Amino acid sequence: MTPTTARRIARDRTRLLAFPRPDRCALVVGGGAVAARRAAALTRARTPVIVFAPTLCDDVFDLLAEHLVTWENRWPTLEDLRTAWLVHAATGDAQRDAHVCALAAAVRPSVA
């Protein structure tokens, strides 16, 4: 295994554990590098993804430009989380991530 391959494998650790329902999508909360990797992995698995963040890094913006994700220029509401199949909190702010996870757990999607 080459060093490049090892780095790629180490970066991409998102694995889907169940199949999403067609009427539900995955939410990625955050617009940074970690959120970009998670959103990209979900789109490769053909999962509809909505990114919630007030700002986006270049990699998330590229996914948006390629029409692979949908972007909401805000943080998610409880109702947004209620309709999700999976929620991944990747804001880079531990308190905000904990808040998102607590809200998501209250409506019972898989929380990552």
Residue 3: band (very low, low, confident or very high) from pLDDT cuts 50, 70, 90: low
Rounded distance between C-alpha atoms, residue 27 and residue 1, angstroms: 33
Tell me the domain boundaries of the chain. 29-111
Residue 13: band (very low, low, confident or very high) from pLDDT cuts 50, 70, 90: low
Q: Domain 29-111: state its class.
A: alpha beta
Q: Catalogue the E-assigned strands of 20-73.
A: 25-29, 49-52, 70-72
Among the listed residues 21, 63, 56, the one whose alpha carbon sits nearest the alpha carbon of residue 40: 63
76: three-class secondary structure by DSSP: coil
Helix (H) or strand (E) holding 23: none
Predicted pLDDT at 66: 96
Write out pLDDT tens, residues 63-102.
999 999 999 999 999 999 888 888 999 999 999 999 999 9
Predicted pLDDT at 91: 95
